[in-house]
């Protein structure tokens, strides 16, 4: 593992000051307006080791009504849903390599379009596999997934199965493309690292990857009062990234460091990361209690922003025209989604919550994905979010699932006066 940052880097110091300034300038919304989902997918039950996590929307350009949502369910594998939220396909996780090892655990998933493979241009679904420290790569054909992962591609972060068993393995994921190729950004569980991988077609029709470079975000920060702050977690675990998205029009990656804030950096991981916003808990002291396996927080000094409550989770982009659009971030701690302008300095627009309606509301959301193309039943585009508490509190059994929303509803009913892409 890479050595940890014991003192804040120059990157971290500059970013903290930028984030603090942005937090003071933006509007504050005490009571975000609620809107409701159009429909939901079937429940995934904890008792079945099924835990909904991250969705990706694949658009069928020839027949938009046949577009699908591809979603991870951690130890339960990958599910494919139609636009009515009905299950079309289930892919089981990879089996454990031995009795003492963990099975596959798909965490995040994203789409690659028009990838050249075996003489054809195909669309791919690419998922991070925390249990195996690798990727799962699937060709999408008429909405159906077929695995094409190179079995010899190797591990993303680990040097041995023993390291994989320590679970400092592949975690969050997003994909992006430019004129030179297709790439995946993959974060590392319990660490601050993010790796850039280039996806490579093999002569046998499989797809592997080549590591290009790695970025380590700060694990410690100098606060405005001169003190040094680190996030509180289990011993040996650091401020990891999970939610990520790339704005391909500007080549900018947005990285959600769960207990810290949202960073932006060049998608090829060059240049200096900059903090777009920080969590409200940024700078709040906390001490790990081994008896309760919890962090006991002290008084919040107020150095953080006011839009995000930890954990900061699923990031996605809704595009309008030109380089305009919105960056959405799941603020898990208060069950809202924070909205930022995509262009310029990423000004904060406001936040919204998804309440009870035809289906129940959304809480503790992990992953999210948005497209701006209108689809049948979803005017102005589709927003899909994970619901981390699908069953009402107090139920004997816990479940998760995914909620589908029409972007036009989000724009009109969130109270934020958001734009709608017209195509």
Quote the percentage of the chain above a pLDDT of 90. Answer: 87
Residue 2 lies in a domain: no
Confidence class for position 423, pLDDT limits 50, 70, 90: low
Quote the percentage of the chain above a pLDDT of 70. Answer: 91
pLDDT of residue 235: 86
Residue 241 lies in a domain: yes
Residue 350 lies in a domain: yes
Residue 315 lies in a domain: yes
Determine the 3-state secondary structure of 391 from DSSP.
coil
The answer on pLDDT for 11 being more than 80 is no
Structure tokens at 264: 């932006």
pLDDT of residue 399: 94
Residue 95 lies in a domain: yes
Q: Which domain holds residue 259?
A: 10-413
* Eight-class DSSP state of 378: B
Residue 420 lies in a domain: no
Q: Which of 4-8, 14-18, 220-224, 237-241 has the lowest mean pLDDT?
A: 4-8
* pTM assigned to the model: 0.93
- Strand 44-45 vs strand 39-40: parallel, antiparallel, or unpaired? unpaired
CA dihedral 259, 29, 386, 211 (to 10 degrees): -40
The answer on pLDDT for 5 being more than 50 is no
Task: Tell me the Ramachandran region of residue 342: left when phi exceeds 0, alpha when psi lies from -120 to 50, beta otherwise.
Answer: alpha
pLDDT of residue 289: 92
Number of structural domains found in the chain? 1
What's the pLDDT tens digit per position in 95-111? 999 999 999 999 999 99
Structure tokens at 282: 């940024």
What's the pLDDT tens digit per position in 332-359? 999 999 999 999 999 999 999 999 999 9
pLDDT of residue 31: 57
What is the average pLDDT across 252-275?
Answer: 98
Q: Work out the burial of residue 151: count CB atoms within 10 Å of its CB; fewer than 13 is exposed, 13-18 middle, 19 or more buried.
A: exposed
What is the average pLDDT across 264-291?
Answer: 96
Stretch (H or E) spanning 339: strand 336-341
Nearest to 349 by CA among 403, 253, 416: 416
CB 407 within 8 A of CB 372: yes
Report the Cα 115 to chain-centroid distance in Å. Answer: 22
Residue 162 lies in a domain: yes
Mean per-residue pLDDT over the chain, rounded: 91
Residue 333 lies in a domain: yes
Residue partners of 295: CB distance under 8 A and separation at least 6: 232, 233, 286, 287, 288, 289
Q: Work out the burial of residue 380: count CB atoms within 10 Å of its CB; fewer than 13 is exposed, 13-18 middle, 19 or more buried.
A: buried
Residue partners of 170: CB distance under 8 A and separation at least 6: 107, 128, 129, 130, 132, 133, 134, 135, 156, 157, 186, 187, 188, 189
Structure-model confidence comparison of residues 132 and 3, the more confident one: 132
Confidence class for position 240, pLDDT limits 50, 70, 90: very high
Confidence class for position 305, pLDDT limits 50, 70, 90: very high
The answer on pLDDT for 33 being more than 80 is no
- CATH number for the domain that contains residue 189: 2.120.10.30
pLDDT of residue 1: 38
């Amino acid at each position: 593992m890479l050595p940890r940052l014991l003192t804040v880097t120059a990157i971290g110091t500059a970013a903290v000051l930028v984030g603090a300034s942005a937090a003071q300038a933006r509007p504050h919304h005490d009571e975000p307006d609620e809107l409701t989902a159009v429909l939901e997918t079937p429940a995934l039950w904890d008792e079945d080791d099924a835990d909904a996590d991250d969705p990706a929307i694949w658009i069928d350009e020839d027949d938009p009504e046949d577009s699908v949502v591809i979603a991870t369910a951690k130890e339960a594998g990958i599910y494919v849903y139609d636009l009515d939220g009905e299950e079309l396909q289930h892919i089981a996780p990879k089996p454990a390599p031995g009795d003492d090892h963990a099975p596959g655990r798909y965490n995040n998933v994203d789409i690659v379009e028009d990838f050249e493979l075996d003489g054809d241009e195909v669309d791919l679904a690419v998922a991070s596999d925390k249990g195996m420290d690798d990727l799962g790569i699937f060709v999408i054909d008429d909405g159906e997934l077929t695995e094409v992962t190179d079995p010899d591609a190797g591990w993303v972060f680990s040097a041995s199965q023993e390291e994989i068993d320590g679970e400092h393995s592949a975690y969050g994921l997003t994909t992006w493309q430019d004129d030179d190729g297709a790439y995946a950004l993959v974060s590392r569980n319990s660490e601050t690292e993010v790796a850039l991988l280039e996806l490579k077609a093999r002569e046998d029709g499989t797809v592997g990857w080549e590591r290009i470079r790695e970025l380590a975000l700060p694990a410690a920060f100098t606060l405005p009062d001169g003190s040094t702050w680190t996030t509180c977690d289990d011993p040996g675990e650091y401020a990891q990234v999970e939610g990520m998205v790339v704005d391909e029009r500007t080549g900018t990656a947005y990285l959600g460091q769960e207990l810290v804030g949202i960073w932006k950096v060049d998608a090829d991981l060059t240049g200096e990361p900059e903090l777009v916003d920080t969590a409200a808990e940024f700078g709040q002291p906390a001490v790990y209690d081994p008896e309760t396996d919890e962090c006991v927080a002290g008084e919040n000094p107020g150095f953080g922003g006011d839009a995000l409550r930890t954990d900061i989770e699923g990031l996605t982009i809704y595009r309008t025209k030109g380089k305009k659009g919105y960056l959405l971030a799941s603020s898990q701690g208060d069950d809202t989604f924070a909205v930022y302008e995509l262009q310029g300095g990423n000004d904060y627009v406001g936040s919204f919550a998804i309440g009870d309606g035809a289906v129940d509301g959304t809480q503790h959301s992990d992953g999210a994905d948005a497209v701006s193309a209108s689809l049948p039943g979803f005017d102005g585009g589709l927003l899909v979010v994970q619901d981390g508490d699908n069953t009402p509190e107090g139920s004997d059994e816990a479940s998760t699932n995914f909620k589908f929303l029409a972007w036009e509803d989000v724009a009109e009913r969130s109270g934020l006066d958001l734009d709608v892409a017209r195509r």
